[in-house]
Every structure is written in structure tokens, then in C-alpha cells.
Amino acid sequence: MTVAWDTSAPTTGRVRFGAGAGAGLVVPEADLPCSTHHEVAFPALPVSAEYRYGIAWSPCAEWIPGNDRFERWSPAGSVRPPPLPGRPLVFFAYGDTRAYPERHTRVVQAMLRDAETRGWPAFVLNTGDLTTTGTAETEWREQFFQPLAPLLARVPFVPVFGNHDAQDEDWFLRFRLPGNEAWFSFRAGDAEVFVLDAYARFAPGTPQLRWLEESLAASTAPWRIVALHIPLRSCAANRLRRRTADRLAEWLGPILFRGGVRLVLAGHDHLYGRTVLDGGLTVVTLGGGGAPTYEAREPADGEVCVSALNFARVEIDARRLRLHALDPDGNTLDEFELTREPEAVRADSIPALPDAAPSPDPAAPEGADRAATVLDSPPEGDAPCDQPSP
């Protein structure tokens, strides 16, 4: 795990960290060079231990090498490493937190209340679109850091790359993520989470798809979860969004099913949705983190489509996965459970691979690495509901 922070002006910094609630803030310490962005990886500590840390900073002009007078200390933070295999796992998931900080704050406060009542999560997963464009530091401060501050201080944060995030050239510099940071996986408890870049190519032989197929084949986790920005089935009333999701599902769905994936978490549509694809792949849309809420379509049998701010608490053990979706007032939007012993699947029920992979953006030039503007705004006459959710 890594602790990272940004300052409005270049500063030097220091981090103190240790283990155990009674250990206080202890050595070792790490001194950092002069910069506006800092990050320090925690040393290896026992999984059962609680990391305690503090951050100090000083304007570069006031810094003297070897001088230990750092008077601007942050409040002490604490965080736990994710559980080892065989141990229960809890995490929060939500997304599309851009544009309206007061709405994002409502969702974060609801997560904090849930954590205090039912236990703290091992991490928070955001399904993408963290800010409106990310090109202005005020956006990061007002839309991301300020609403999330009490949660970020003690819970690791895992972001997914969204179309609005693509406008920020420094997006990948803001986080310390595994692998190439655009697509990666990590193990926590009995789950392995595979984070994808929905705007990179999924054609056969492309780096991301090759990595995904190889990683799924090598995974030993009882539960395999995929997170990406675009859902594989859309609950939005917007027809173009539904077509984009269906095309992505046509190609990616069979690969995920064959790789043993049981759950897909997505965003992009600013609402809550749940559906099950052919073969038993459950797709959940968690795009109600604060952005303008979209109108939901009428759900089919077995589906849930709700236009509301939302987040989900996911609880996993060796045999069961439970997802509880709530609105900021604590009302249940959806609740379901998956078991590790799926019903026998006939060979002819496994979705077949199409002949060619669709691009998320049909207008993207051939060979482009990423197409990041697909359906950024609904077409005229099919606009989102801009009123806050009840």
C-alpha cells in the first residue's frame, strides 16, 4: 500500500508510520524531495496489524536538509492491509463522482455511517469518472479530495479509468497502482479483482485482452471480479448507451464467463442497475456517486434499474458473495447473494465469441490506443435527469 498526497505549492515532506494502535507514530521515517506530489510505499507489516501514519510538509524555501522541524503535521491516520486468502473480505464500490461535490459528500457520509455500523471495508473501488475533466486542481480538491478526505485517511482507494478521466494527462501520476496502472489485478481475501480500461482495444491479440485471458487462467481465487467503467448491460433510458453496452458484452462477456468471472462492477450510467447475462454473469452498475442522475429504463424480469445516488457494500467469504446497494439515506436499492457452487451449465449455453471485437468508439481511428470520448453526453432529447436523487 502507498500513501500519497498533493500540495498546491512545491513542498518537501516526511512520513512516519508504524504498526499497532498502541505503537503511535514511530520510525522508520521517509524524507521526500521538493514537489507538489508525494507518495511513499508502506514497508511490509503483518496483515493483522494496523498501519498508523502521519504526514508532515514544509515549503521548499524553508527546508534545510537534516533539519527535523516539520511543524505542519496532518492528523494521524490508520489503515489495515487487505485480508489474506481464507479470510472474509468487505469492500465498498461506487462511481461517477464528478461535478457535484455536495452530492458526492452525501454518498461518502453514507459509506462512513455504514462502516461505523457494520465494519470498515478493506478498500473502496471507484468505477471511474472521478472528476469532470481533472485538468484543474480545483476540481480534484473540490470534487475528489474534500468529499473523500475522511474515508481516504483510513481506507485504500482503487480507481477505474473513465472517459472523463481521460482528459487529465496527469491522471496516472496521481495514483500508485499495480501493473501498468491502466489494467491490473490484485488479491484480497478470497477474491481477485481485475480492473480494466474500457477505452483500450479488446481485439484479439491486443495487450489488455491478452493480459486478461492469461491472468484469468492463472488466477486461483475462488471469486473473480471485473471492474471497468462501461457496463456490459445498460439500465439507462438512453438507447445509444444501451447499444454501446450490448456491443461490449457481446465480445467481453464470453471471455469473462470462460475465465470464471461471476461479477462485473461498472459505472458510466449515473444510476444503479443489476442484470444477469447469458451464462450467469452478474453485471452491476454503480454510477450514482454524485454526477447528475440518469433516467432509468423499465427493468426486465430479474433486473433492477433505479435512478438514484448509490454505493454498494460487498461481503465475500469462501462460499458466498453478498452485495447490498444503498442510497445516501440508508435505504436498500438492491440486495443479492451469489454462491460459489453455480448450477451446472450446458455447453450450448456458453456464449460464443464473435468474429470481431467491437471498439467502444466506432469513430476512433484504427490503431488508436484509447477512445475516451464515447457517449460523453447523451444525444439531445434523451438527457439525464439533473435533479438530485431523493
In this prediction, residue 360 has a pLDDT band, given cuts at 50, 70 and 90, of: very low
Over 90: is that where the pLDDT of 37 sits?
A: no
Looking at residue 366, its pLDDT comes to 32
In this prediction, residue 200 has a pLDDT band, given cuts at 50, 70 and 90, of: confident
Over 50: is that where the pLDDT of 111 sits?
A: yes
Residue 363 buriedness (CB in 10 A; 0-12 / 13-18 / 19+) = exposed
Q: Are 168 and 134 in contact (CB under 8 A)?
A: yes
Amino acid (1-letter code) at residue 30: A
Please give the residue that has the higher pLDDT: either 39 or 225: 225
Looking at residue 361, its pLDDT comes to 41
Helix (H) or strand (E) holding 242: helix 239-258
Amino acid (1-letter code) at residue 253: G
Alpha carbons 124 and 126: distance in angstroms, whole number: 7
Which residues of the chain does CATH 3.60.21.10 include? 89-349
Question: Where would I find the beta strands (DSSP E) of the chain?
Answer: 2-19, 29-41, 51-59, 72-73, 77-79, 89-94, 124-126, 157-159, 184-188, 191-195, 223-227, 261-266, 272-277, 281-286, 304-306, 311-316, 320-326, 332-339
Antiparallel, parallel or unpaired: β 311-316 and 281-286: unpaired
Looking at residue 346, its pLDDT comes to 35
Range 57-81 average pLDDT? 67
Per-residue pLDDT of 239-292, as tens digits, reads 888 888 888 888 898 899 999 999 999 999 999 999 999 888 999 999 999 999
Per-residue pLDDT of 169-192, as tens digits, reads 777 778 888 888 889 999 999 999
Residue 388: count of CB within 10 angstroms of its CB: 15
Amino acid (1-letter code) at residue 161: F
In this prediction, residue 31 has a pLDDT band, given cuts at 50, 70 and 90, of: low
Per-residue pLDDT of 135-158, as tens digits, reads 888 888 899 989 999 998 889 999
DSSP class of residue 145 equals: I
What is the CA 209 to chain-centroid distance, rounded?
19
Q: Are 193 and 237 in contact (CB under 8 A)?
A: no
Fold of domain 89-349: Purple Acid Phosphatase; chain A, domain 2 (3.60.21)
Looking at residue 191, its pLDDT comes to 98
Helix (H) or strand (E) holding 113: helix 101-118
Looking at residue 210, its pLDDT comes to 93
Helix (H) or strand (E) holding 4: strand 2-19
Write down the pTM of the prediction. Answer: 0.82
Range 344-362 average pLDDT? 42
In this prediction, residue 313 has a pLDDT band, given cuts at 50, 70 and 90, of: very high
Over 70: is that where the pLDDT of 384 sits?
A: no
Please give the residue that has the higher pLDDT: either 68 or 335: 335
Over 70: is that where the pLDDT of 350 sits?
A: no
Range from 52-61, 281-290, 362-371 carrying the lowest mean pLDDT: 362-371
